[in-house]
A = this chain, B = another copy of it.
Amino acid sequence: MTDLWVFGVRGMGEVQPGDDPAALLLDALQRQGERFQDGDVLVVTQKIVSKAEGRLVDLQTVEPSQTAHELSAVSKRDPRQIEVALRETARVVRMERGVLISETAHGFICANAGVDASNLAGRDVVALLPIDPDGSARRIRSRVREDVGVEIAVIISDTFGRPWRNGQTNVAIGVAGLRPIHDYRGEPDSAGVVLVVTEIAVADELAAAGELAMGKLDRVPAAVIRGYSYERGDGHARELVRDRDLDMFR
Protein backbone atom coordinates (compact mmCIF):
# COMPACT_ATOMS: atom_id res chain seq x y z
CA MET A 1 0.00 0.00 0.00
CA THR A 2 1.26 3.40 -0.88
CA ASP A 3 0.56 6.82 0.45
CA LEU A 4 -2.41 8.72 -0.88
CA TRP A 5 -2.75 12.36 -1.63
CA VAL A 6 -6.25 13.83 -1.85
CA PHE A 7 -6.85 17.34 -3.09
CA GLY A 8 -9.87 19.33 -4.18
CA VAL A 9 -10.41 20.87 -7.60
CA ARG A 10 -11.27 24.49 -6.90
CA GLY A 11 -12.57 27.46 -8.80
CA MET A 12 -14.74 25.77 -11.38
CA GLY A 13 -17.40 28.44 -11.21
CA GLU A 14 -21.07 27.84 -11.87
CA VAL A 15 -21.70 24.93 -14.24
CA GLN A 16 -24.36 25.52 -16.89
CA PRO A 17 -26.44 23.05 -18.90
CA GLY A 18 -24.46 22.06 -21.97
CA ASP A 19 -21.07 22.63 -20.34
CA ASP A 20 -18.43 19.93 -20.70
CA PRO A 21 -17.54 18.98 -17.12
CA ALA A 22 -14.23 17.41 -18.20
CA ALA A 23 -13.12 20.61 -19.92
CA LEU A 24 -14.07 22.71 -16.88
CA LEU A 25 -12.23 20.33 -14.56
CA LEU A 26 -9.10 20.33 -16.71
CA ASP A 27 -9.11 24.14 -16.82
CA ALA A 28 -9.63 24.45 -13.06
CA LEU A 29 -6.87 21.95 -12.38
CA GLN A 30 -4.48 23.85 -14.61
CA ARG A 31 -5.31 27.15 -12.88
CA GLN A 32 -4.33 25.62 -9.54
CA GLY A 33 -1.03 24.46 -11.03
CA GLU A 34 -1.93 20.79 -11.17
CA ARG A 35 -2.45 18.22 -13.89
CA PHE A 36 -3.78 14.68 -13.98
CA GLN A 37 -1.30 11.84 -13.63
CA ASP A 38 -1.70 8.29 -14.83
CA GLY A 39 -3.65 6.31 -12.22
CA ASP A 40 -5.36 9.27 -10.56
CA VAL A 41 -8.91 8.78 -9.34
CA LEU A 42 -11.14 11.77 -10.01
CA VAL A 43 -14.21 12.04 -7.77
CA VAL A 44 -16.85 14.38 -9.19
CA THR A 45 -20.02 15.33 -7.34
CA GLN A 46 -23.24 14.40 -9.04
CA LYS A 47 -24.42 17.97 -8.85
CA ILE A 48 -22.12 19.45 -11.48
CA VAL A 49 -22.67 16.47 -13.77
CA SER A 50 -26.44 16.80 -13.42
CA LYS A 51 -26.22 20.54 -14.10
CA ALA A 52 -24.00 20.07 -17.14
CA GLU A 53 -26.38 17.43 -18.47
CA GLY A 54 -29.35 19.72 -17.94
CA ARG A 55 -30.98 17.40 -15.38
CA LEU A 56 -32.74 20.37 -13.76
CA VAL A 57 -36.41 20.83 -13.01
CA ASP A 58 -38.10 24.20 -12.62
CA LEU A 59 -40.42 23.70 -9.66
CA GLN A 60 -42.79 26.33 -11.05
CA THR A 61 -43.80 23.75 -13.65
CA VAL A 62 -44.56 21.06 -11.08
CA GLU A 63 -48.05 20.29 -9.77
CA PRO A 64 -47.79 18.29 -6.53
CA SER A 65 -49.90 15.17 -6.21
CA GLN A 66 -51.98 14.27 -3.17
CA THR A 67 -49.16 12.00 -1.88
CA ALA A 68 -46.66 14.84 -2.22
CA HIS A 69 -48.93 17.14 -0.21
CA GLU A 70 -49.32 14.49 2.49
CA LEU A 71 -45.56 13.94 2.78
CA SER A 72 -45.03 17.69 2.77
CA ALA A 73 -47.41 18.14 5.69
CA VAL A 74 -45.21 15.88 7.82
CA SER A 75 -41.75 16.80 6.55
CA LYS A 76 -42.39 20.56 6.02
CA ARG A 77 -40.53 20.28 2.72
CA ASP A 78 -41.70 21.90 -0.51
CA PRO A 79 -44.42 19.62 -1.94
CA ARG A 80 -43.16 20.33 -5.46
CA GLN A 81 -39.71 18.96 -4.52
CA ILE A 82 -41.38 15.88 -3.09
CA GLU A 83 -43.45 15.48 -6.24
CA VAL A 84 -40.27 15.49 -8.35
CA ALA A 85 -38.76 12.90 -6.00
CA LEU A 86 -41.85 10.71 -6.34
CA ARG A 87 -41.62 10.92 -10.12
CA GLU A 88 -37.95 9.87 -9.97
CA THR A 89 -38.84 6.92 -7.73
CA ALA A 90 -38.99 3.55 -9.49
CA ARG A 91 -40.10 1.86 -6.28
CA VAL A 92 -40.87 3.17 -2.80
CA VAL A 93 -38.68 1.35 -0.26
CA ARG A 94 -40.05 3.17 2.80
CA MET A 95 -42.35 6.12 3.29
CA GLU A 96 -42.66 6.98 6.97
CA ARG A 97 -42.69 10.15 9.08
CA GLY A 98 -42.36 12.33 5.98
CA VAL A 99 -39.24 10.53 4.80
CA LEU A 100 -39.25 8.98 1.34
CA ILE A 101 -36.69 6.25 0.69
CA SER A 102 -36.68 5.50 -3.03
CA GLU A 103 -35.23 2.97 -5.35
CA THR A 104 -34.23 4.92 -8.45
CA ALA A 105 -34.33 3.71 -12.03
CA HIS A 106 -30.59 3.00 -11.66
CA GLY A 107 -31.31 0.73 -8.68
CA PHE A 108 -29.81 3.10 -6.07
CA ILE A 109 -31.60 3.34 -2.75
CA CYS A 110 -31.59 6.80 -1.27
CA ALA A 111 -33.77 9.52 0.20
CA ASN A 112 -35.98 11.42 -2.25
CA ALA A 113 -34.58 9.54 -5.26
CA GLY A 114 -31.46 11.68 -5.08
CA VAL A 115 -33.35 14.87 -5.99
CA ASP A 116 -31.21 17.72 -4.76
CA ALA A 117 -32.11 21.32 -3.98
CA SER A 118 -28.86 22.57 -2.46
CA ASN A 119 -26.18 24.65 -4.13
CA LEU A 120 -28.40 25.50 -7.08
CA ALA A 121 -28.86 29.00 -8.39
CA GLY A 122 -32.45 29.76 -7.58
CA ARG A 123 -34.65 28.26 -4.93
CA ASP A 124 -37.12 26.99 -7.49
CA VAL A 125 -34.78 24.57 -9.22
CA VAL A 126 -33.88 21.02 -8.25
CA ALA A 127 -31.36 18.66 -9.81
CA LEU A 128 -32.07 15.04 -10.71
CA LEU A 129 -29.44 12.31 -10.78
CA PRO A 130 -27.76 11.83 -14.17
CA ILE A 131 -29.63 9.35 -16.37
CA ASP A 132 -26.54 7.15 -16.78
CA PRO A 133 -23.86 8.11 -14.24
CA ASP A 134 -21.48 5.38 -15.51
CA GLY A 135 -21.77 6.95 -18.95
CA SER A 136 -21.13 10.39 -17.46
CA ALA A 137 -17.98 9.00 -15.78
CA ARG A 138 -16.86 7.32 -19.01
CA ARG A 139 -17.24 10.53 -20.99
CA ILE A 140 -15.09 12.48 -18.50
CA ARG A 141 -12.49 9.72 -18.51
CA SER A 142 -12.39 9.60 -22.34
CA ARG A 143 -12.16 13.35 -22.62
CA VAL A 144 -9.21 13.45 -20.19
CA ARG A 145 -7.49 10.69 -22.14
CA GLU A 146 -8.01 12.58 -25.41
CA ASP A 147 -7.01 15.98 -24.08
CA VAL A 148 -4.02 15.18 -21.91
CA GLY A 149 -3.23 11.57 -22.78
CA VAL A 150 -3.57 10.27 -19.25
CA GLU A 151 -5.51 7.26 -17.98
CA ILE A 152 -7.55 8.14 -14.92
CA ALA A 153 -10.47 6.51 -13.15
CA VAL A 154 -13.60 8.58 -12.62
CA ILE A 155 -16.21 8.28 -9.87
CA ILE A 156 -19.45 10.26 -9.88
CA SER A 157 -20.39 10.66 -6.22
CA ASP A 158 -23.45 11.55 -4.25
CA THR A 159 -24.12 11.89 -0.55
CA PHE A 160 -26.50 9.20 0.69
CA GLY A 161 -27.88 8.35 4.08
CA ARG A 162 -27.81 4.77 5.26
CA PRO A 163 -29.77 2.55 7.62
CA TRP A 164 -28.52 1.96 11.15
CA ARG A 165 -26.01 4.80 11.14
CA ASN A 166 -26.45 8.54 11.49
CA GLY A 167 -24.99 10.99 9.04
CA GLN A 168 -24.57 10.74 5.33
CA THR A 169 -21.48 9.60 3.47
CA ASN A 170 -20.30 10.06 -0.06
CA VAL A 171 -20.81 7.01 -2.26
CA ALA A 172 -20.14 6.18 -5.90
CA ILE A 173 -23.12 6.38 -8.26
CA GLY A 174 -21.06 6.19 -11.45
CA VAL A 175 -17.66 4.68 -12.17
CA ALA A 176 -15.31 4.38 -15.11
CA GLY A 177 -11.89 2.81 -15.40
CA LEU A 178 -11.83 0.94 -12.12
CA ARG A 179 -13.42 -2.12 -10.54
CA PRO A 180 -15.67 -0.67 -7.83
CA ILE A 181 -15.32 -3.69 -5.54
CA HIS A 182 -12.07 -5.29 -4.52
CA ASP A 183 -12.70 -8.96 -3.96
CA TYR A 184 -10.30 -10.49 -1.46
CA ARG A 185 -12.15 -13.80 -1.33
CA GLY A 186 -9.79 -16.69 -1.75
CA GLU A 187 -6.71 -14.60 -1.05
CA PRO A 188 -4.75 -15.63 2.05
CA ASP A 189 -4.38 -13.02 4.78
CA SER A 190 -1.15 -12.35 6.66
CA ALA A 191 -1.78 -15.34 8.95
CA GLY A 192 -2.24 -17.61 5.92
CA VAL A 193 -5.95 -17.98 6.54
CA VAL A 194 -8.09 -17.62 3.43
CA LEU A 195 -10.46 -14.67 3.75
CA VAL A 196 -13.91 -16.03 3.15
CA VAL A 197 -16.08 -12.98 2.79
CA THR A 198 -14.21 -9.78 2.26
CA GLU A 199 -15.27 -7.64 -0.60
CA ILE A 200 -14.37 -4.02 -0.12
CA ALA A 201 -16.42 -1.34 -1.85
CA VAL A 202 -13.34 0.67 -2.79
CA ALA A 203 -15.31 3.02 -5.07
CA ASP A 204 -17.44 4.08 -2.10
CA GLU A 205 -14.35 4.50 0.08
CA LEU A 206 -12.72 6.60 -2.63
CA ALA A 207 -15.90 8.70 -2.88
CA ALA A 208 -15.78 9.17 0.90
CA ALA A 209 -12.11 10.17 0.83
CA GLY A 210 -12.91 12.66 -1.92
CA GLU A 211 -15.67 14.21 0.16
CA LEU A 212 -13.16 15.02 2.90
CA ALA A 213 -11.33 17.27 0.42
CA MET A 214 -14.53 18.84 -0.91
CA GLY A 215 -16.84 19.75 1.95
CA LYS A 216 -20.43 20.67 1.39
CA LEU A 217 -20.55 24.44 1.41
CA ASP A 218 -17.63 25.43 -0.78
CA ARG A 219 -17.36 25.40 -4.49
CA VAL A 220 -15.11 22.35 -4.52
CA PRO A 221 -17.11 19.95 -6.66
CA ALA A 222 -14.36 17.45 -7.38
CA ALA A 223 -11.29 15.88 -5.80
CA VAL A 224 -8.31 13.98 -7.09
CA ILE A 225 -6.95 10.95 -5.23
CA ARG A 226 -3.39 10.18 -6.18
CA GLY A 227 -1.38 7.12 -5.20
CA TYR A 228 -4.18 4.61 -4.75
CA SER A 229 -3.45 1.36 -6.49
CA TYR A 230 -6.78 0.18 -7.87
CA GLU A 231 -7.81 -2.61 -10.19
CA ARG A 232 -8.31 -1.06 -13.58
CA GLY A 233 -11.17 -2.33 -15.65
CA ASP A 234 -14.65 -1.66 -16.86
CA GLY A 235 -16.60 -0.98 -13.73
CA HIS A 236 -20.26 -0.23 -13.29
CA ALA A 237 -21.79 1.42 -10.25
CA ARG A 238 -24.56 -1.20 -10.49
CA GLU A 239 -22.06 -3.69 -9.02
CA LEU A 240 -22.30 -1.67 -5.80
CA VAL A 241 -26.03 -2.24 -5.57
CA ARG A 242 -27.17 -5.37 -3.82
CA ASP A 243 -29.59 -7.57 -5.75
CA ARG A 244 -33.04 -7.12 -4.34
CA ASP A 245 -33.48 -10.80 -3.52
CA LEU A 246 -30.13 -10.91 -1.71
CA ASP A 247 -31.00 -7.85 0.34
CA MET A 248 -32.59 -8.51 3.72
CA PHE A 249 -33.47 -4.84 4.14
CA ARG A 250 -35.92 -4.00 1.38
Residues of chain A having any CB pair with chain B under 8 Å: 1-8, 77, 94, 96, 99, 101, 109, 117-123, 159, 162-171, 180-182, 184, 187-191, 193, 195-196, 198-202, 204-206, 208-209, 211-220, 225, 228, 239-242, 247-250
Contact = CB atoms under 8 A, between A and B. Distances in A.
Contacts of A3: 5-8, 213
Given A212-B228, A213-B1, A216-B200, A239 B171 contact: no
A220 B77 CA distance: 46
Contacts of A189: 118-119, 216-217
Contact of A164 (B180, B181, B216, B249): B249
Contact of A4 (B119, B212, B220): B212
B217 A169 contact: no
B119 A217 contact: no
A242 B195 CA distance: 30
A134 B87 CA distance: 43
The number of times this chain is found in the oligomer is: 2
Contacts of A219: 190
A212 B202 CA distance: 7
Given A3-B6, A99-B248, A121-B191, A212 B215 contact: no
A120 B194 CA distance: 11
Contacts of A168: 198-201
A181 to B, nearest CB: 4
A229 to B, nearest CB: 9
A219 B1 CA distance: 10
B209 A180 contact: no
